[in-house]
Amino acid sequence: MRQLVFILCSTTLACQCLQPVDERPDAGPRDAGRVTDAGTTDAGAIDAGLDAGLFDAGVRPDAGVECVSASDCTSPVRTLPFCSGGPVMSCVNSRCLLECAGSGSRTCRSTSDRCLDCDAGMQCASCAAPACTFRVRVITGSCPAPFLADSQHTLQPFSGRCGGGLLFDGGLAGLWLGRFDPGSTLLDIPELGGSCLGNDLATGVPRTLVSCPACTFIAEGCE
């Protein structure tokens, strides 16, 4: 009788060990770069989000005015804050972008993640991204979430790879691809139409004019 009880108990325990386990991930690809409880972002998790196709061209909204060259673009404004010489238009990856006159009107196409082939020749950006926080000040267009007016974002360098991630509320919202001389930055922000150019502004505090197909804003606080 004792042997029968032992066999029954052993069978019951074995059944409990074979219960099915839910192996679905806790969150979607947008949560791949969430901030941990310690307040820092897991660089490996951001890489996983990139590998999952977060920045695939197929998921980018159709934003901005198409162009073949800078001459196809018309400026939507006559002046830009902190921009001497007035605005000029550039054509970058077949989209019109608004820039400061100091940068000069140009037609460019990306040849890699960090290189632009423009009228004056090819230029590749530096690799190291700064670590900083900035606030969005919308200049033209209607910037969709998460780049709404007065929203705050963090630029965090990648660990062991070039560039950095633009983080909002712990999630990956864009890529800082590299910095060109003098004072230009190449970014990739899918929600704003893809390729964006940043131009440093000569002001008393760090400000960068960020021009994207969907809208133009000033990033206040990042050098």
- pLDDT at site 17: 39
pLDDT in tens, 84-122: 778 899 999 999 999 888 777 899 998 877 788 888 788
State the burial class of residue 59 (Cβ atoms within 10 Å of its Cβ: 0-12, 13-18, 19+): exposed
Number of Cβ within a 10 Å radius of residue 138? 16
The tokens of 132 are what? 């900083």
Predicted pLDDT at 63 = 73
* Predicted pLDDT at 70: 94
Amino acid letter for position 199: N
Whether omega for the bond prior to residue 182 falls within 30 degrees of 0, making it cis, is yes
How confident is the model over 123-138, as pLDDT tens digits? 887 888 889 999 999 9
Convert 70-96 to b/e letters by CB count within 10 Å (16 or more is b).
Answer: beebebeeeebeebeeebbbbbbbbbb
Per-residue model confidence (pLDDT) at position 44: 52
Q: 191: pLDDT confidence band, cut at 50, 70 and 90?
A: very high
Q: Which tens digit of pLDDT belongs to each residue from 148-188?
A: 999 999 999 998 888 999 999 989 999 999 888 778 889 99
Domain ranges of the chain: 47-220
pTM above 0.95, yes or no: no
What pLDDT sits at residue 61? 53
Rg (CA), the chain: 24
pLDDT tens digits, one per residue of 7-59: 333 444 444 433 433 333 343 333 333 333 333 444 454 554 454 344 444 34
Task: Say if residues 41 and 167 touch (Cβ distance below 8 Å).
Answer: yes
